[in-house]
Structure 1
Amino acid sequence: LSVIIDADGEDCWIPRDGWADYRSRSREELIERIHQFGVAGLGGAGFPTGVKLQGGGDKIETLIINAAECEPYITADDRLMQDCAAQVVEGIRILAHILQPREILIGIEDNKPQAISMLRAVLADSHDISLRVIPTKYPSGGAKQLTYILTGKQVPHGGRSSDIGVLMQNVGTAYAVKRAVIDGEPITERVVTLTGEAIARPGNVWARLGTPVRHLLNDAGFCPSADQMVIMGGPLMGFTLPWLDVPVVKITNCLLAPSANELGEPQEEQSCIRCSACADACPADLLPQQLYWFSKGQQHDKATTYNIADCIECGACAWVCPSNIPLVQYFRQEKAEIAAIRQEEKRAAEAKARFEARQARLEREKTARLERHKSAAVQPAAKDKDAIAAALARVKEKQAQATQPIVIKAGERPDNSAIIAAREARKAQARAKQAELQQTNDAATVADPRKTAVEAAIARAKARKLEQQQANAEPEEQ
């Protein structure tokens, strides 16, 4: 689906319907409003917030607000908390009203002193929300990692945080929830960090969704080099943009334009030496070296067994690898291939189910048809019964009218006079028919003079031929 929006140039809001008294609204109404206003996870996942809240149900005991923002260069959430702390807290209260958790925790790293001060000032009179300051260590901002740091609970392999009674939202998402519910404003913009040595005026800006990346960079004094790359996201979890005309989307938290030497020279990939440095650095307690071999060898089952789905793609393993192996790239590709295989298997299973259902339906129809035929054969209709009775009556009548058989006793000669008379009568009838046919042929001959002339000519030719043969025979005798 492709949608082209033609702007009218007025740049003003339509009449907005805010719910300042949101506490009088039901849980379902609030979730539906959040969903309809397009609120999604702004921390990087982009999962629809309405669906996430609906899936939480009544089993959420702990609501965690992720304010860690641990990846280098990114300061979008930090700036948002400094400028809009009250609105963020109001959004948190709306989420708490929907979920009714037992505790609400805000996790923030200690490298954000100004944001911490603003949040503490807003929460001074609040006793239902706890602000937890944690050490700055990458990747503490990961969902599973922050959950473990704040609650001591581990999300099971292949599971979700809701399985252990925890639901996590980003501070940017909480702010968007407040704007959607209270102000009646859908999510049309977000804070984006513009940074890197190739940008003359780095900082955080409110960028509307759909704005071309090139426009934002040029507005910030972008000075590209010959082989300039631009990363959407941070240096560890971000990805390089193929071109700069891509739009800003809901998960665009940072645009990094590094200089040629800022992130170091790209190193040539070498063979794995099994040093286990990647395993020591992995925050998800995985074995990246094993996953690397499985991914490279297309061993999808083993990669799944070693929980490749739990990889958060933080890039810590690739950062510490002495062989400069881009492990995250291998893992991303492997997860994409596994997802494609599962999708194909799902389609095949659905096709098989449809085929089996069709075969079962055809078999049921065949069985029903045979049963109808059997019933029709066993129980004939009333008109069929009448026809059968009439036929039987005719047969009995013929049998009654039949002559008695002639029985010849031993030593007696049979009387064949009747048979002989019948035979003579048939012969006389045949002779009469033959005479009649002969008369018809004679009449046809008289009626056709041309045929008579032809027969006379043939007779004369035969006579002349016979005379010539006799004349030729006389000299030979002399």
Structure 2
Amino acid sequence: MITLIEQIKHGQIWDFHGGVHPPENKHQSNQQTIQSAEIPSEIVLPLKQHIGTTGQLLVSVGDKVLKGQPLTKSDVLQACPVHAPTSGEVVAIEARTIAHPSGLTDNCIVIRPDFEDTWAEKSSVDDYLSKSPEDLIDHIRLMGIAGMGGAGFPAARKLQTAHNRTEILILNGAECEPYITADDRLMQERADEIVQGAEILKHIVNPKLTVVALEDNKPEAIEALKTAVMGKDDILVQVVPTKYPSGGEKQLIKLVTGKEVPTKAIPAAIGIMVQNVGTAFAIKRAVIDGEPLIERVVTLTGTTLKEQSNRWALLGTPISFLLDKHGYQPDKKLERVIIGGPMMGFTAPHTQIPVTKVTNCILVPSKREIEPSHGEMACIRCSSCAEACPASLLPQQLQWYAKDQNYDKCEEYNLFDCIECGACAYVCPSEIPLVQYYRQAKAEIRTRDAEHQSAERARERFEAKKARLERDKKEREARHKQAAENRRKAMEKSGDGDAIAAAIARVKAKGEQGSAVAAIKPAVAAAIAKAKAKQAEAAVAGSSEPDNSEMSKLREERKRLARERKAQKEATTDTSPSDSTTDKKDAVAAAIARAKAKKAAQQADAPTSESSEGDAKKAAVAAAIARAKARKAEHAESVEPTENASSDADPKKAAVAAAVARAKARKASQQVDSQDTADVVVPSENDPKKAAVAAAVARAKARKTAQQAEAQDTADMVESSQEDPKKAAVAAAVARAKARKASQQAEAQDTADVVESSEEDPKKAAVAAAVARAKARKAAQQAEAQDTADVVDPSIEEDPKKAAVAAAVARAKARKAAQQAESKQLQSENTEVQAPLIEEPSAEEPVIEDPKKAAVAAAVARAKARKAAQMQNKNEDE
């Protein structure tokens, strides 16, 4: 049976499913040689120009770089370093738009060339045949070689995967995409170097057969390659029919070997490795010449260009620079710049996008050359896409699932077998952009898988940590257990084990005993101990019921102590009346002391009066003061025997008697004050200034008397409220009376202010005096009404608790009688004073116009108003 390699050598060609034959349009750009590269004014190098990870930056802004100097580095095969295409200065490292279907931005190194094009030190391999495949793979990685066919897969990674697994090495020169002729011109002009690259690849992967495959529409390239491989039996140039997409990796493998790559597998799984002819050329320059991948061949084509050809372009060269070199004139109706060919390329957002390692063509067609899409229409289920699919997929089903975001179904229908060749979209009569749906669905699935893998790694790390902690815990417990066992054995050997155990037992016993003692009182604990002892004795003796006599005795003792405390409390309560009587005697003594203090103050004023013997008016004042002293002395003598006599009586009657005595004392004081006022007013008739002074003295004395009376009433009320808790109600009445007293004092003060303000006008003074007298009479009536309301039924005296109330009533009656007597006396005295001074104003008679008499009348009126207010307040307090 003929082997596969023999079949290939005999020129056996297979076919793949589907495929299309679009217009080639290659003759516009493959008729001229490749033009040399030119240095632009700015170079923009994306950090990631391949499939894989991004390397680590080696430069910063402001650094000077040389041509071929590495700008990034990485220790993994999945990353390709980036090198400086020319010498210059790094002016920025920032985000710029990159050549990608999404039109997104990425980090880029911006270099300003110095146009000297100075090379850095080159690192070539003189004798690569003496080097191991691993060393050559690492050297290729450091040179930044990536797949030049359009996918951009790192060459080093692919070589490592195919190492010692490859039977057939295929160099892909098919270049099936319309308009693109970069590989065609490279094979025509650099066929020898491509074959040298193939020799290096053979040394690394050691295949049984190396095949250079290209379409039959490239006769010049076919002839050049055959000439280059002449005399090399292990390298074969294989021509395949022109059919799109014969340049696809899986499709070319099918054409050359007849084998199919399994789903979700790579060609290395079936012993085949495919590399682009441009990648082979770059490997030759990296290994033999020591030049990294810093430039590539780019096809510039389209009817909007004056010159269509291929050009060497430095990586990072802006597309606008290349278009300007070829006389670009944008179409006014539809300006388009396509990166790649018309089948697999994408439209760039602007012309400042840089050239990268995978940029093989820049197509700028006119509107007539390539008509724009008229818009997506509904699928008509014609199955043309399924017939044209080179991967034998169902494009219409994939489009439905991708549009519905049913990614599980997309994977079930082998979405990742799609090579995004665009054959399905090319034949679709509804102009549905199928490839765009597939690209988006692939990106979503990759993102979802990446998140799932990240979560899975996190779960594995968590479980590993949990297992490690559990293992450490068990090991720690085992160590502690072993240490305890070792200590126990050591104590047993030394004989100290029993002593230590006994000490621990004693400590525990003491702790339990201390806690029990702290929780139980000593007496109770003793009783409990006795009871327990007796119970134990009873149990020993066989008694069925324990003896609780000790506990009974303890309870009886507690009851006895409680009774004694109660009796002491009652005895204290019974002796309280005598204490209250003593307190009342103390109050009477305090009142006598206050009276004596007043007397001493008056005696101190007496010499002042005596010193004015030359003045008759001052003599009259002195006489009035003497009379007042006499009256006060008489009242003081009458108060003391009354109090002493009442101290031996019944406690209830003693309280009433004390209240009566206090009322009489206050009455005597008031009578003295009123007499003093009358005496002072009389001699002031002839002098208005002295009359005003006398009136002020009278007001001061009246206020002083009111304050003393209020203080005494408050003390009496407190004393009475202490005798019985029920007398608290009386204290509340006092509080209310004080509130009324405050309002009455304010009213009295207002009246006095009115009278004072009217002293300058005699008529107004007379009116004010009349108003004051009316208010005085009204206050007296209210006080009388209040006294009548406060009278309590005498029957309450039978109740000891209500004795205080009866006493208060008695005191109120006493004060009322004293006030009536006093008011009569004042009226008689005032009549004598006022008769020559003022007459009662009437409607027919005019008001007296004497200023001196008006002032005296006003002073008298103010004195009466204050006195009436004081009496009313006293009545309310009682």
TM-score, normalized by length of structure 1?
0.81
- Matched residue, 2:144: 38
1:286-323 per-residue CA deviation (whole Å, 9 max, x = no partner) reads 11111121122222111111111111111111111111
What CA distance in whole angstroms lies between the structure 1 residues aligned with 2:479 and 2:130?
Answer: 63
- Matched residue, 2:174: 68
- Matched residue, 2:411: 304
Q: Which has the larger radius of gyration?
A: 2
Three-state SS of the structure 2 residue aligned to 1:204 is strand
- Matched residue, 2:352: 245
Residues 1:125 and 2:231 are matched in the alignment = yes
- Matched residue, 1:96: 202
The change in CA–CA distance for 1:363 and 1:17 in structure 2 (over 3 A counts) is closer
What CA distance in whole angstroms lies between the structure 1 residues aligned with 2:588 and 2:501?
Answer: 66
Residues 1:388 and 2:498 are matched in the alignment = no
What CA distance in whole angstroms lies between the structure 2 residues aligned with 1:137 and 1:350?
Answer: 45
Three-state SS of the structure 1 residue aligned to 2:174 is coil
Residues 1:50 and 2:244 are matched in the alignment = no
Residues 1:79 and 2:196 are matched in the alignment = no
Residues 1:464 and 2:464 are matched in the alignment = no
The change in CA–CA distance for 1:378 and 1:386 in structure 2 (over 3 A counts) is farther
Which has a greater percent of helix?
A: 2
Find the partner of 2:246 among 137, 140, 146. 140
What CA distance in whole angstroms lies between the structure 1 residues aligned with 2:468 and 2:228?
Answer: 66
User: Counterpart of 2:425 in structure 1: which amino acid?
Assistant: A
Alignment of 1:103-182 (within 5 A): 103-182=209-288
What CA distance in whole angstroms lies between the structure 2 residues aligned with 1:395 and 1:318?
Answer: 92
Residues 1:332 and 2:471 are matched in the alignment = no
Q: Percent identity?
A: 49
Find the partner of 1:268 among 346, 367, 375. 375
- Matched residue, 1:10: 116
1:349-369 per-residue CA deviation (whole Å, 9 max, x = no partner) reads 233334444555566667778
What CA distance in whole angstroms lies between the structure 1 residues aligned with 2:507 and 2:248?
Answer: 92
Find the partner of 2:460 among 334, 348, 353. 353
Quote the offset at 1:58 in angstroms: 1.0
User: Counterpart of 1:20 in structure 2: which amino acid?
Assistant: D
User: Counterpart of 2:109 in structure 1: which amino acid?
Assistant: V
- Matched residue, 1:434: none
1:97-137 per-residue CA deviation (whole Å, 9 max, x = no partner) reads 00001110110111111111111111111111011011111
What CA distance in whole angstroms lies between the structure 1 residues aligned with 2:305 and 2:201?
Answer: 37
What CA distance in whole angstroms lies between the structure 2 residues aligned with 1:70 and 1:99?
Answer: 26
Select between 194-203 and 266-275 the one with higher mean Cα deviation.
Answer: 266-275
The change in CA–CA distance for 1:376 and 1:206 in structure 2 (over 3 A counts) is same
What CA distance in whole angstroms lies between the structure 1 residues aligned with 2:413 and 2:291?
Answer: 44
1:128-160 per-residue CA deviation (whole Å, 9 max, x = no partner) reads 101101111111111001001111110001111
- Matched residue, 1:285: 392
Alignment of 1:438-457 (within 5 A): none
Alignment of 1:389-428 (within 5 A): 389=506
User: Counterpart of 1:190 in structure 2: which amino acid?
Assistant: R
Quote the offset at 1:336 in angstroms: 1.5
What CA distance in whole angstroms lies between the structure 1 residues aligned with 2:465 and 2:588?
Answer: 80
The change in CA–CA distance for 1:465 and 1:371 in structure 2 (over 3 A counts) is farther
Three-state SS of the structure 2 residue aligned to 1:3 is strand
Quote the offset at 1:337 in angstroms: 1.7
Three-state SS of the structure 2 residue aligned to 1:77 is helix
User: Counterpart of 1:132 in structure 2: which amino acid?
Assistant: Q
1:358-417 per-residue CA deviation (whole Å, 9 max, x = no partner) reads 555566667778888999999999878744356669999xxxxx99x687999xxxxx9x
The change in CA–CA distance for 1:308 and 1:380 in structure 2 (over 3 A counts) is same
Three-state SS of the structure 1 residue aligned to 2:366 is coil
Three-state SS of the structure 2 residue aligned to 1:82 is helix
The change in CA–CA distance for 1:373 and 1:466 in structure 2 (over 3 A counts) is farther
1:11-50 per-residue CA deviation (whole Å, 9 max, x = no partner) reads 0212223212111111111000000000010001100101
What CA distance in whole angstroms lies between the structure 1 residues aligned with 2:479 and 2:287?
Answer: 63
Q: Note the aligned Cα RMSD (angstroms).
A: 4.0
What CA distance in whole angstroms lies between the structure 2 residues aligned with 1:176 and 1:280?
Answer: 37
What CA distance in whole angstroms lies between the structure 1 residues aligned with 2:512 and 2:424?
Answer: 100
What CA distance in whole angstroms lies between the structure 2 residues aligned with 1:455 and 1:51?
Answer: 120
- Structure 2: any 5+ residue segments left out of the alignment? 1-106, 489-496, 514-528, 544-549, 562-585, 593-642, 644-653, 664-806, 818-878
The change in CA–CA distance for 1:105 and 1:394 in structure 2 (over 3 A counts) is closer
What CA distance in whole angstroms lies between the structure 1 residues aligned with 2:474 and 2:434?
Answer: 59
What CA distance in whole angstroms lies between the structure 1 residues aligned with 2:511 and 2:422?
Answer: 100
The change in CA–CA distance for 1:387 and 1:13 in structure 2 (over 3 A counts) is same
Quote the offset at 1:267 in angstroms: 2.3
Three-state SS of the structure 2 residue aligned to 1:63 is strand
What CA distance in whole angstroms lies between the structure 2 residues aligned with 1:187 and 1:18?
Answer: 13
What CA distance in whole angstroms lies between the structure 2 residues aligned with 1:90 and 1:102?
Answer: 17
The change in CA–CA distance for 1:80 and 1:464 in structure 2 (over 3 A counts) is same
User: Counterpart of 2:437 in structure 1: which amino acid?
Assistant: Y
TM-score, normalized by length of structure 2?
0.46
CA contact (8 A) 2:145 2:154 kept: yes
User: Counterpart of 1:73 in structure 2: which amino acid?
Assistant: Y
Q: Which has the higher contact order (CA 8 A, sep 6+)?
A: 1
Find the partner of 1:206 among 312, 334, 350. 312
- Matched residue, 1:196: 302
The change in CA–CA distance for 1:266 and 1:455 in structure 2 (over 3 A counts) is farther
Three-state SS of the structure 2 residue aligned to 1:293 is helix
- Structure 1: any 5+ residue segments left out of the alignment? 397-401, 411-415, 428-452
- Matched residue, 2:598: none
CA contact (8 A) 2:163 2:204 kept: no
What CA distance in whole angstroms lies between the structure 1 residues aligned with 2:511 and 2:317?
Answer: 97
What CA distance in whole angstroms lies between the structure 2 residues aligned with 1:339 and 1:318?
Answer: 23
The change in CA–CA distance for 1:8 and 1:456 in structure 2 (over 3 A counts) is farther
1:53-94 per-residue CA deviation (whole Å, 9 max, x = no partner) reads 111121111110001001110000011111111111001100
Three-state SS of the structure 2 residue aligned to 1:388 is helix
